[in-house]
Every structure is written in structure tokens, then in C-alpha cells.
Chain A
Amino acid sequence: MRNVFVVIRREYIYRVRNRWFIVGTLALPAAILGVIALSAMSEARRSNRDRVLPIIDHSGVLYDLVAGRLPSSFEPERVATTPEALEEVAERARERTISGYLVLDAETLTSGKATFHGDHAPRTLTRIRMQQAVVRSALQVRLSATDSGAQVEDLLSGGEIDFESVSDEAPEEGAREIGMAVGFAGAMVLYMVILIYGMMVMRSVLEEKTSRVVEVIISSVRPWELMLGKILGVGAVALTQVGIWALAVTLLLTVGLPYLIAFRPELGNASELLQYLPAVGALVIFVAFFILGYLLFSSLYAAVAAMCSTEEEAQQTQFPVTLLVMIPIFFMSSIMEDPNSTLSTVLSLVPFFSPIVMLPRYLGGAPLWQVGLSMVFMVITIGGVAWVAGRIYRVGILMQGKRPTLPELWRWVKEAG
């Protein structure tokens, strides 16, 4: 057992200190931080030119309503309807001290149409916000003629579709949708991490084999100790990296997001995202499937490397294993569509697919017993796969030359005593 730890330690230190590990680990948080910083900066640099919105109200009743409804990223400015004032605001637009101005007239009250005068069309989001403010204000004016102001106010600020579940189990619809999205993101991270670190195990085995270091090591360390130590060592590297990412994302969301919202009030809704961040249960399942999936596939990748003598050979031989990791991705859209269909359920219980399929299904409302069952299946499969892979590894690492054929491989498995 001591040897296993010595191997783990070597593998871990060697990989964590690697330049690419450091770059890769910092890249993700840096990218997120970059996006936040960029959008905050662009907001800070947004000049009055973009913020100030002169409004010419020919209808005479709309200005206050529209101005009140515009989000705080606009600074509405009332323009008098005198020819001098009109000429002046047009001049400002031509000189580009403002990006444009909005004209409301009598027709706005009947058709909801308004005109933006500027040197270029406003951004889609800006346009939608102006449109909402204008249309709702127009409606308010029209409805107030017959109904009481308070009723109209309620109606115009409403417009939500509430969801009420008919069963006891199903989660709230909004939570489910966001849960699925989080689950999808989680599945993609699992897919990536299993592939990246499975391949790292493969390269590590191959490196020892092609450099023949293994011939020296294997006289002092038993093959199963070397293989186990390697898989656990690389696994610890993976956990370190994913842990750093998780920590960074959490920090960015809890510390960085409010900062961002402070700069961009129109993103205020984003803070609601926080409440949908995966609960502890989902996090446990994520980590469990990561560990199980990694153990399963890294043993397969170790066996693949043991069979091969060159990098090129390994690249070819690993394909079936990689395909096995990828298959769930092909079905991801059907799974997202209906996480509880027969197809989704069956896929999630196939041990090679469970790590990637089960997390979105769980967040999409799959029962916990299915999660548990898939884990039991996986543990059994890992036992079998590790047994076979261990035997292939044991014979393969000391063999040089051509790759074994399938019958030869079978003989290795049978004869490695």
C-alpha cells in the first residue's frame, strides 16, 4: 500500500506543477472574470451620449408615463415641442452628442408606434425596452378612460404565468427548467473532465511504457499498485482543478455578480440565478458521478495505453473508449426535452452513460432511487472493468511491438495470473 501512496504523490506533484495545469486551472475563472470586467467596463465607459434619451411628446400625455417606465439605464429628457427646441435636439443628434431621440405623437396612442431618430438603429435590447415602455404607457392612457387607474396599473405590471404542479413530486416548473440548464452545464463539465483526465492517465501510462521506465519501476512496484496509484494520482489532480473552478465560480457569482449588477442595473434579474445554484444534493451527485465516471474510464484508458507502444497507436486505439464517453452527448437534446422518458431513463442506467446523463435527469426531477441504482450498477461495472483492465495493463506494460489482436487480448486477460 505504501507504494501506492508513493506513486500517487509522484503523479500528483508532477502534474500539478506542470505549466499547462496551472494555465488550464486559471483560464476558466479568468475567462469568467474577464467577461464580468469587460461588461462592467463597457458600462462605465458608456457615456451620456448613450444614456441620455431626449423625448419629444406631441401627444402631451405620454412623457411622464414613458419616462417612469424606462429602466434606469436611460436618462429621459423632456424636449419642448417648440420649433427651436426641436431644431436644437436634431442638431445634437447630428453632432452626435446624443445617439438619438424618441418622438411620440398622436398615432402612438392608437397604434403604439413611435420613432427613434438617430445616426444608427438602437440595439435590439434598447429597442425592446423603449417599445415596452411606450406600448404600456399608451395602453394605460387608453384604458384609464374607462377603468380605474389602480386596476390598469395592476394589469400592466402583471403578465406572469404562474405554474402550479398537479402532483406532489414534481418541482416547481421554473426551478426545473433552470435545474435542467444547470444539469446540462454540469453534464458538459463531467464529459470534459472525464475525457481530459482519462486521456491524461493514458498518456502517463504510455510515457512510462515508451521510456521503459516501467521496467525498472515494475521490479519494485506491483503492476496493480502502479496502475491504482496512477489513476488515483491523476484523479486527485482532476479534483484539485475542478475544486478550484467550483470555488472560483462560487466566488464570482456571490461576490462578482452583485458588483456587475451594480454597474448594469438592467441585469438585476440575474441575481435570481443565485437561488437556483445547485443545492448540496446536486453537488454531491456531481462529485460522485465524477469519481465513478473517472474511475471507470481511466481504467479503460490505462488498458488502452498498455496495449500500445506509440502515441499514434494509442490515438487510434482509444477511439472506442472515447466514443463510449461521447454517446450520451448525442442524446443530450432528447434528454433535455424529456428527462423522464423511457429513453432517458434507460440511458441513465447504462453504467457507461450514467455519469453524464444522470445529473441533468436528477435536476430535471428523476427519482433518487434511480440515481442510487445507476451508482450501484456503476460500482459493479467498475469492479469488472478494473479487473480486466488491470490484467491487460499488467501484461501490456512490459510488451513492446505490435498491438495485440482481440484473441491475444483475451489470452492476456485469462493468463495474467
Chain B
Amino acid sequence: MSSDIAIRLEGVTKRFGEHTAVRDLHMSIPRGCIYGLLGPNGSGKTTTLRMIMGILHPDEGVVRLLGGDPDDIRQKRVGYLPEERGVYRKMKVLEQLEFMGEIRGLARKEAARRAGDWLDRLGLGDWKEKKVEDLSKGMQQKVQFIATVIHDPELLILDEPFSGLDPINQDVLEDIVREFHRRGTTILFSTHLMAQAEQLCEYVCLISKAEKVLDGALKDLKAQEREGVVAVKFDGSDGWLAGPEVASIEKVDRGVHLLLHEGADHQAILRRGVESGAVIHHFELVEPSLHEIFIRHAGGDAVGDAGLPRDLQRAEAVS
């Protein structure tokens, strides 16, 4: 494993009974990047992260971490924020963070100092001695985020880190993620919010229905996909828009985006439009959004819920 890859998944498959949650997934996460694992609910994101964290064991394939024994590396060098926010509800905030720091190898005093700094920075300075259960949900989430990063990990694995936060706190969290990125931390996070990923990620992996749809550097993907989306503004009937070249039609601000199939001839659409008598004001190949890329490759139905109910997944998590 080359030293510039932080996490590598090789042919990883996880089944829960009859249902396959992740199928033959290959993924390479370069060191020092922000990597987004994207997909709709139930597509296998959480299962993938749980396998990386060793909470689940893949039925097939291997997970490699920072080129060493994954158990050792997870112990001190990884920060993991699970999707289900787990905290000791009856513990005091500061003590909880001290404990989390200590089990990751910090001395208690050092853990307390860092916890104090973080709490001040996130506006929770007055809550140090309060029990976690007395905090609001958003505050608890911040506490858990601090617990995730208190030992200054090399690798941050965040499962839906932004869900449940208000826009202001989402921005705060985004800033912190960028800051870790500047310091060289590798960050892998999952989200179903394409817009967020688009702002933050350098690399993405899109998965749908347990399988990878595509992955790579975001700017490469966008360059590849440049021929894939046409922005159209027109007056008149819209019957001419649909055709064999068009995968789906998205309404945007003023007009529509046509997402084209791979290798489709966009000039054919234009000709059809002119022949139909529509008045076409604007017809331009545009850089597609992540959302559009995703739909082009996975199909519109992939956006819907594609997985098993969560409880069933868990019930079979270990069997």
C-alpha cells in the first residue's frame, strides 16, 4: 500500500442475510484530502464506514488503514463520529471529554486542557460542569464532535456530521473540518447532501444500492462530465425536450437542465427543438452539479430509498 493512500478498500462486500449492503466496493482515499462518501439513505454509506472502523467485518475483501494494523491505528490515530450520537448522558461534559481523550492516549490534564479550549471555541465554555443530558441536542452533537477530534487524529471519519445542526453551526463545523484539512488530516465523511459535499470535498465516491457508481477527484469528474448537461431556456411547448439522448430533466431557476446519457448527441436535441417551433433563447453545455452527475449515472430512481430498514440491518450486523 503506497504511503499516500490513507484508507483502501479492496473488493469489500457486506451482506445482512439475503440483503447485500455493500457489494464489491473498491475505494482509495488519498492522505490529506477531504473525501465525501455520497449516496441516498440506505445505499450503504454507514455500513462502509462501520467496516472501516472495524465495528462490522466485511464478508469479503479487505480494509487497509494508513498502512498498518488497523486495530492499532484505530486505537489512537483515528477519530470516528458515528451516525448515532452516543454519549454518556449522565456524565459531566468536561469529564466525558477527559475520558475520551484518555482512552485515546492523552494524559488526563492534557485532555482536560484541550477539552476546555474546544468547549470555549464552540461556545460551550459555561457548560463544562453540566451533565450531558442537560444540553440541547445540537450542543450534545458539538460535545461529541469534540470527543472525536480531541486527540488530534490523523484520520477523521465522520458519519453524516452535519445532520441535525442549524446552518450557523453547520458553517462552524465546516470551518473546523477545513482547518483540520489544512493541518494535513485526512477526512472521510458521508452525507446525502450533495450540495454540501460539492463545497467541501476534493474527492468523492458516489454509491447507490450498495454499489459504487463512480469515484475520483471532484474536478476530474466535473471535467469528464462537461458534455453531460445542457442548460436550456426557451418559450413554447416542451415536448421536444424528451428524447433518447436525455436521461432526465431537471427544472432550474429559469429553464431546465437536461442530463444526457453517456455519449449522447446534444445537437440532435437542438435540431428537434428548432423543428418543433419552440423559441430557444439559450442552449449551453454546463458544468454539472454533483447531484446531476449522480443522477446521470445512477438513474433518478436511485435517489429514492434503496436499502433495508435500518433495524433489520442491525439485527443481522454480526450474524
A residues bordering B, Cβ < 8 Å? Answer: 3, 6-7, 10, 13-14, 207-208, 211-221, 395, 398-402, 408, 412
Closest 4 CB pairs of A and B: A401-B315, A212-B86, A400-B314, A213-B86
Q: How far is the CA of A6 from the CA of B100 in the complex (A)?
A: 10
Q: How far is the CA of A261 from the CA of B240 in the complex (A)?
A: 108
- Closest B residue to A209 by beta carbon equals B86
B75 touches A400 (CB 8 A): no
User: Nearest Cβ in chain A — how far from B156, in angstroms?
Assistant: 13
B86 touches A216 (CB 8 A): yes
User: Nearest Cβ in chain A — how far from B70, in angstroms?
Assistant: 10
B103 touches A220 (CB 8 A): yes
A6 touches B55 (CB 8 A): no
A399 touches B75 (CB 8 A): no
Contact A3/B311 with A211-B87, A216-B82, A401-B316 known, Cβ cut-off 8 Å: no
- Closest A residue to B99 by beta carbon equals A10
B318 at the A/B interface (Cβ < 8 Å)? yes
Q: Which of B287-319 contact A (CB under 8 A)?
A: 311-312, 314-319
A6 touches B87 (CB 8 A): no
Q: How far is the CA of A91 from the CA of B87 in the complex (A)?
A: 77
- Closest B residue to A309 by beta carbon equals B314
Q: How far is the CA of A221 from the CA of B101 in the complex (A)?
A: 12
Chain A residues with CB below 8 A from B104, complex form? 220
B residues bordering A, Cβ < 8 Å? Answer: 50, 53-56, 74-76, 78, 80, 82, 84-91, 95, 99-100, 102-104, 147-148, 311-312, 314-319
- Closest A residue to B318 by beta carbon equals A399
- Closest A residue to B82 by beta carbon equals A215
Chain B residues with CB below 8 A from A395, complex form? 318
B90 touches A14 (CB 8 A): yes
B55 touches A218 (CB 8 A): yes
* Most chain B beta carbons < 10 A, residue from A216, A217, A402: A216
Q: How far is the CA of A258 from the CA of B84 in the complex (A)?
A: 60
Q: How far is the CA of A6 from the CA of B315 in the complex (A)?
A: 31
* Most chain A beta carbons < 10 A, residue from B74, B76, B103: B103
A401 touches B312 (CB 8 A): yes
A399 touches B314 (CB 8 A): yes
Contact A216/B75 with A399-B314, A399-B317 known, Cβ cut-off 8 Å: no
Q: How far is the CA of A400 from the CA of B63 in the complex (A)?
A: 23
Chain A residues with CB below 8 A from B85, complex form? 212
A6 touches B103 (CB 8 A): yes
- Closest B residue to A395 by beta carbon equals B318
Chain B residues with CB below 8 A from A400, complex form? 311, 314-315, 317
Contact A215/B86 with A220-B75, A400-B317 known, Cβ cut-off 8 Å: yes
Given contacts A216-B100, A219-B74, could you give 12 more A-B pairs where the C-beta distance is less than 8 Å?
A3-B103, A212-B85, A214-B86, A218-B55, A219-B54, A221-B103, A398-B55, A398-B56, A398-B318, A400-B314, A400-B315, A400-B317
